[in-house]
Amino acid sequence: MTLHPYTLGIDISKHHLDVYDSRDATTRRIANTAPEVTTLAQALTGRDCLVVLEATGHYDGTLRRALAEADVVHARVNPEQARHFARATGKRAKTDAIDARMLAELGQRLAPRPCPPDDPARSALAGLSRRRDQLVAMRKQERTRRGELDDPLLVESLDAHLAWLDQAVTQLDHAIAELVRTTPPLAHDAALLRSVPGIGPVAATVLLAQLPELGSISAKPIAALAGLAGLAPFNNDSGAFRGKRSVRGGRTRVRQALYMAALTAARSKTILGDFHQRLRDAGKPPKLALIALARKLLTTLNAIVRAQSPFAKA
């Protein structure tokens, strides 16, 4: 854990940023535009500070890129974690200025893990992967609609759209494969990931794009850091009550990819398949056994990337 002399909390919206500086307890507002954000980031270059911001989708993209280019240490925290912290410290009111101050305080008290260095190729891969997921989801919706209609005109429209979606997904698959092939670090890590049973091209892409921490931190943090991947079951106990453990939060797409990979790994003639079978033989419910296997997959992948050694199937 690295402690910094002071922190900046930045609340992000579509059009502006509210910046709280813990040195003088002041808040100021700037436009969420490249020139304004670049000026802010450059002013922080060389200073021993930590910038804390919430993960807000694409609205924080300009800020993250500017901070990375200026070599400013910054942490991107889960909005749910930020709200829980605010409630725990008695902050019920919510304004942009209050949120910025709360993020700065969170940075001082919890010292969240800084974001890894920006990787343009990995960012591009994330964009392609995200767009592919959007089109696949859209195709699933259109197929459902297709099965509910019998009007020839509507059926023709849906068939044309489905054909376009099939082609668009195929084009993205080619673009993803080409990007990985022509980027040696991605190609190397993809080969390592795909040596593991259940990890196909889609799962490997999701892991490369959305889990850059893979191989750089230990097993428990990779599964549970800020709900990472949502595969660490949370206790639900109080007094004599023992509730069911559950998984929640984290990076939903990563969790989905690992769960689907676990379905295949469970049928493999490897230590992963044996692990799943032992759980089922011990009476574990099917879904719980698959979640446990998905977590084991994640820790195995983490170890493989760290050791730079492929999966041993024997």
Average pLDDT over residues 177-190: 96
pLDDT of residue 244: 54
pLDDT of residue 282: 95
Summarize pLDDT for 220-275 with one digit per residue, the tens. Answer: 877 864 344 445 454 545 555 555 555 555 678 888 899 999 999 999 999 999 99
Start-to-end CA span in the chain (Å): 38
Residue-wise DSSP of 139-189: HHHHHHHHHH---HHHHHHHHHHHHHHHHHHHHHHHHHHHHHHTSHHHHHH
Query: CB pairs under 8 A, 24+ apart, for 162-165?
Result: 165/135, 165/138, 165/139
Whole-model pTM: value is 0.76
Choice between 56 and 126, residue whose per-residue pLDDT is larger? 126
**Helices 184-194, 152-181: crossing angle, 10 deg rounding:** 110
pLDDT of residue 230: 44
The β-bridge relationship of strands 6-12 and 49-54 is parallel
Average pLDDT over residues 105-133: 90
| Contacts for 7 with CB less than 8 Å, ≥ 6 apart | 22, 49, 50, 51, 52, 104, 105, 107, 108
Average pLDDT over residues 2-30: 90
For the chain, what percent of residues have pLDDT higher than 70? Answer: 90
For residues 119 and 251, give the distance between their C-alpha atoms in angstroms, rounded to a whole number. Answer: 19
* Short-list 183, 176, 201, CA closest to 125: 176
Choice between 72 and 56, residue whose per-residue pLDDT is larger? 72
Asked if residue 209 lies in contact with residue 126, where contact means CB atoms within 8 angstroms, the answer is yes
Q: Phi/psi class of residue 17: alpha, beta or left (left: φ > 0; alpha: ψ in -120 to 50)?
A: beta
pLDDT of residue 141: 97
The β-bridge relationship of strands 26-31 and 16-21 is antiparallel
Is pLDDT above 90 for 119?
Answer: no
**For the chain, what's the residue count?**
314
Average pLDDT over residues 54-66: 87
Greatest distance between any 2 Cα atoms in the chain: 68
For residues 92 and 140, give the distance between their C-alpha atoms in angstroms, rounded to a whole number. Answer: 41
pLDDT of residue 304: 95
pLDDT of residue 216: 84
